[in-house]
Structure 1
């Protein structure tokens, strides 16, 4: 009779930054890069202990506040009455962040005042960007 018992199980690894009631994050938008927004998390809020910055489409953020959007590294979806969930997927794991939708709306309104939604292409300097690419080639 065998004295070894083997049983396959499904395990879920859960890793999180040190427990913080609020994670300070910064949303950033640059009119010179009109299609993108950046969200930066300071070192104390990350597992690696260094600042982490994610860049993703402004359109993804806006659309994700209304319905689930994204199938890549960044995914956005509404959650409850006034929350939006942002998921950041990396090889090291996934970070899930809840943000008040009102704060995101104010941010998006400010970006739209700088560069109106749908007119981002008018704020690109394609000749300059092409010259940069050719110079680096």
Structure 2
């Protein structure tokens, strides 16, 4: 049984220039952190020239493909029928990307196959996590 989902998608960076640059982006989900998903951007897509990963609630992504969601560092909303906008807010500024909604829905379906929404707690091994925390604290 797989324990993680990884899906490559094309993200279109929204900038002040008239043309949006397309960059390869990776969506990730791992049952080790069943409540979260992450979006990984390659170095060429970032101001610092290093790979950047944003992690946020899977529930936020699921809500954001249908209606505006989020009010913190990550905000997601539909953009027409075919695209979804992901906004990433940091002190350096705001990064906005468009991703095809169908790709996001496909990714969410794959995560649901691993851990259905509402059942995340069932895959957490709290005893092992506490033991690891105590071991690492020594």
TM range (shorter): 0.7 to 0.9
Distance 1:49 1:67 in 2: 32
Deviations 1:55-86 (A, max 9, x none): 00100000011111111111111110111110
> Structure 1 runs of 4+ off > 3 angstroms?
none
Kindly tell me: are residues 118 and 78 of structure 1, through their superposed partners in 2, closer, same or farther at Cα, counting changes over 3 Å? Answer: same
Q: Hey, what does 2:3 align to over in structure 1?
A: none
Q: Hey, what does 1:58 align to over in structure 2?
A: 58
Distance 1:22 1:115 in 2: 31
Which gives a bigger RCO, structure 1 or 2 (Cα 8 Å, sep 6+)? 2
Q: TM-score, normalising length from structure 2?
A: 0.82
Structure with greater strand percent? 2
Q: Quote the offset at 1:133 in angstroms.
A: 2.3
Q: Hey, what does 2:133 align to over in structure 1?
A: 133
* Count of aligned pairs between the two proteins: 122
